Amino acid sequence: MSEEQRGAKEKICPEGMIHKDGECVMPDVTFEAFVLSLNTAALFHMGELADPATGKKQKDLMLARHTIDTLNLLQEKTRGNLSEEEAGLLDNILHDLRLRFVMVRK
């Protein structure tokens, strides 16, 4: 298979999926990917990211707060069990989301 054919095959994977071993699959589940998905959800609920289907931004601060609280719970329950990189990612994301939440509420 040529590089061009391989590249074309990779492009047909649905959104959110990756090309691996000749198939479209979901990316591996990792702690980082999970935390980043919750970060994306919180940003979406704060109206910072547009709905991919409609292109419109909408706010639901109750859901944003719930998602931030979920990340906080995750941080509390995993304390001492994360790598330095994982703990740092979670700390940075929570700090950023909390600041953004305060700004959105103003």
The answer to whether residue 38 is domain-embedded is: yes
63 near 9, Cβ under 8 Å? no
Distance of alpha carbon 71 from alpha carbon 43, whole angstroms: 13
The answer to whether residue 21 is domain-embedded is: no
Note the pLDDT of residue 9: 47
Note the pLDDT of residue 11: 63
106: tokens are 């103003």
> 3-state class of 23 per DSSP?
strand
Amino acid at 46: M
The answer to whether residue 61 is domain-embedded is: yes
Domain count, the chain: 1
Least confident of 12-21, 37-46, 72-81: 12-21
Amino acid at 24: C
The answer to whether residue 1 is domain-embedded is: no
Using one digit for the tens of pLDDT, what is the confidence trace for 42-92?
Answer: 999 999 999 988 999 999 999 999 999 999 999 999 999 999 999 999 999
Q: Tell me the average pLDDT across 28-49.
A: 95
The answer to whether residue 86 is domain-embedded is: yes
Is the pLDDT reported for residue 1 higher than 50?
no
Note the pLDDT of residue 10: 47
The answer to whether residue 19 is domain-embedded is: no
Q: Tell me the average pLDDT across 9-19.
A: 76
The answer to whether residue 15 is domain-embedded is: no
- For residue 65, the enclosing domain spans 31-105
